[in-house]
């Protein structure tokens, strides 16, 4: 995106669908002079004001016999506008040829057509919005459900930026103490003990982890529905995946612990495209082994999922204690959990079966059809809660930068714990501060801005 903040920009700010009224928006230092010439009357206002007038139209208007149109004008003369610079909105009859002709005339008077998102970009550059808030504007525009709108409005209100800003300020304070100590290293004056430094850093690392976790669950829920099969080893997860897909995609064996890597396949569930993931069985493992690593993968997939099917072997049912512990832990990770009793052809724990949403056998295609129907119904109910692409993109961007800050903080903690030199600690902290600053957009690259604001429509 090429930026020239000296230009005064103009664009149609209302939608393209036919409507009684349309809005044309201008922003930039020439706004007053352009609008004055447009309505042939000098605007004198020093505060936000409304005016009425008749505006001249572009050359094309000759063919309809009139070269002027009545406009209501909202005018902001100074930095107290949305964009932080002189700004005007012209409200007029919602006829597209007339609106286009008005824009043509405004361009002839010296304005430039705005690029995508340029009004919001100016607002961001003027410090009126930080980056997550600017992205939230897009989220509000794109919202398709009440949930989307609530998330976007909360972000606009600062629920993403505020905690990040607070953590960054705490890091700046710790770094300042540390660097003050470095200046007085000869005199042996200590501004902060390594214990309180470690304590402060640990608190920041914990809070960063919590924010990342929150964004992970939000960002992960993109438009493609994702379903994960979970359960104890040998509970029949891989067999169920194969039955749902209709081919042998995952390895099945009587040996517990067969599946390690998560296997994801796309499957059509009564007209819905679903990403179905088979995972390793849930186990408590202390050692460092491939099976223990598989538990990490499992957790990661669960955090991205919309629905989990908890596979419960009716032949070898789990204990009640296990069930209630899993229920609680799974529910904290994803929105919807369905209990599915497996291997009905082999055995029947009727007590557990009655508590399941449904029971299946991998060898009984009718039961698999019933599972598909139940899954489709559940996904229809859950999809209303999926976030729009805009909110998904913000969560992904912020999370990436927060993870960099988290890694730098962890490295700093490690250096403090091993008394490895305060200069090195300070340098890691500065990295973390920069990473947090880019989350809120106080340090930004043109690439990122171009990518974000390029997703807006023109006029916003």
Ligand X SMILES: Nc1nc2c(ncn2[C@@H]2O[C@H](COP(=O)(O)OP(=O)(O)OP(=O)(O)O)[C@@H](O)[C@H]2O)c(=O)[nH]1
Does 369 engage in binding with ligand X (CB under 6 A)?
no
The verdict on 234 binding ligand X (CB under 6 A) reads yes
342 binds ligand X (CB under 6 A): yes
Q: Which is nearer to Mg ion, 215 or 250 (CB)?
A: 250
Give the number of residues in contact with ligand X, rule: CB under 6 A: 24
CA angle 172, 173, 174 (to 5 degrees): 95
CB 178 within 8 A of CB 192: yes
41 and 85 Cβ atoms separated by less than 8 Å = no
Partner from ligand X, Mg ion, none contacting 115, C-beta within 5 to 8 A by type: none
Is residue 29 within 8 Å of 79, Cβ to Cβ?
no
With tokens 């998904």, the residue in question is 392
Instruction: Please report whether residue 264 would count as binding Mg ion according to CB under 5 A.
Output: no
Minimum CB–partner distance for residue 303 and Mg ion (Å):
20
| Tokens linked to 338 | 């369905």
For the chain, how big is the Rg over CA atoms in Å?
A: 29
H helices present in 184-289, as ranges: 194-220, 237-245
378 touches Mg ion (CB under 5 A): no
- Three-class secondary structure of residue 88 per DSSP: strand
Is residue 258 at the binding interface for Mg ion, with CB under 5 A as the rule? yes
- Whether residue 7 contacts residue 112, with contact meaning beta carbons closer than 8 Å, is answered with yes
CB of 301 to ligand X, least distance (A): 14
Q: Which does 337 bind (CB under 5 to 8 A by kind): Mg ion, ligand X, none?
A: none
**Residue range at the interface with Mg ion (CB under 5 A); choices 207-215, 241-249, 258-266, 440-448:** 258-266
Tell me, residue by residue from 403 to 442, as one string, x for binding to Mg ion by CB under 5 A and - for no binding.
----------------------------------------
Distance in angstroms (rounded) separating the CA atoms of residues 3 and 446:
9
Binders in 232-251 for Mg ion, by CB under 5 A = 238
Of 23-31, 112-120, 342-350, 351-359, the segment contacting ligand X by CB under 6 A is: 342-350
Spatial CB neighbours of 325, under 8 Å, sequence gap ≥ 6: none
Tell whether residue 277 is a contact of ligand X (CB under 6 A): no
d(CA 417, CA 128): 41
Q: How far apart are CA 95 and CA 343, in angstroms?
A: 65
- When binding is defined by CB under 6 A, the residue of 18, 65, 254, 271 that contacts ligand X is 254
Bridge partners of residue 87, in order along the sequence: 27, 76
Q: What residues numbered 145-174 form the site for ligand X, per CB under 6 A?
A: none
Single out the residue of 84, 117, 281, 459 in contact with ligand X (rule: CB under 6 A): 281
Instruction: Collect all residues with Cβ–Cβ distance below 8 Å to 443 and sequence separation of at least 6.
Output: 434, 437
Q: Which stretch binds ligand X (CB under 6 A): 151-159, 248-256, 284-292, 407-415?
A: 248-256
Residues forming the site for ligand X (CB under 6 A) = 231, 233-239, 252-254, 256-259, 280-281, 342-343, 345-346, 361-363
Residues forming the site for Mg ion (CB under 5 A) = 238, 258-259
């Amino acid at each position: 995106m090429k930026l020239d903040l000296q230009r005064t920009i103009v664009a149609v700010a209302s939608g393209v669908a036919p409507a009684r009224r349309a809005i044309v928006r201008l922003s930039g230092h020439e706004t007053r002079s352009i609008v004055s010439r447009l309505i042939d009357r000098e605007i004198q206002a020093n505060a936000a004001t409304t005016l009425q007038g008749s505006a001249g139209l572009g050359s094309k208007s000759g063919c309809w016999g009139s070269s002027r149109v009545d406009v209501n004008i909202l005018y902001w003369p100074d930095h107290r506008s949305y964009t932080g610079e002189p700004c005007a909105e012209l409200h007029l009859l919602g006829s597209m040829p007339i609106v286009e002709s008005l824009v043509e005339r405004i361009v002839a008077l010296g304005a430039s057509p705005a690029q995508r998102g340029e009004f919001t970009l100016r607002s961001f550059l003027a410090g009126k919005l930080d980056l997550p808030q600017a992205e939230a504007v897009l989220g509000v525009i794109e919202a398709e459900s009440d949930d989307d709108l609530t998330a976007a409005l909360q972000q606009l209100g600062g629920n993403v930026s505020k905690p990040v800003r607070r953590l960054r300020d705490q890091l700046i304070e710790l770094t300042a103490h540390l660097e003050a100590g470095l200046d007085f290293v000869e005199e042996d004056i200590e501004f902060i003990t390594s214990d309180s430094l470690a304590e402060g850093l640990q608190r920041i690392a914990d809070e960063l982890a919590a924010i990342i976790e929150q964004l992970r669950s939000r960002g992960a829920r993109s438009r493609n529905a994702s379903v994960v099969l979970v359960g104890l080893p040998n509970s029949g997860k891989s067999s169920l995946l194969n039955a749902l897909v209709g081919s042998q995609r995952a390895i099945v064996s009587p040996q517990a612990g067969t599946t390690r890597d998560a296997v994801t396949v796309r499957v059509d569930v009564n007209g819905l495209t679903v990403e179905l993931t088979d995972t390793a069985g849930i186990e408590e493992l202390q050692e460092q082994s491939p099976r223990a690593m598989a538990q990490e993968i499992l957790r990661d997939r669960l955090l991205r999922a919309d629905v989990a099917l908890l596979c419960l072997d009716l032949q070898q049912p789990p204990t009640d204690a296990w069930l209630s512990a899993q229920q609680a832990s799974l529910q904290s990770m994803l929105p919807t959990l369905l209990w599915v009793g497996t291997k009905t052809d082999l055995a029947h724990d009727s007590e557990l079966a009655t508590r399941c949403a449904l029971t299946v056998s991998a060898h009984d295609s009718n039961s698999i059809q019933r599972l598909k129907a139940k899954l489709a119904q559940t996904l229809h109910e859950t999809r209303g809660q999926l976030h729009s692409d805009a909110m998904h993109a913000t969560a992904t961007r912020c999370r990436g930068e927060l993870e960099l800050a988290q890694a730098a903080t962890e490295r700093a903690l490690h250096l403090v714990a091993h008394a490895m030199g305060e200069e090195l600690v300070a340098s890691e902290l500065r990295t973390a501060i920069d990473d947090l600053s880019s989350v809120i957009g106080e340090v930004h690259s043109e690439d990122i801005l171009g990518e974000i604001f390029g997703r807006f429509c023109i006029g916003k």
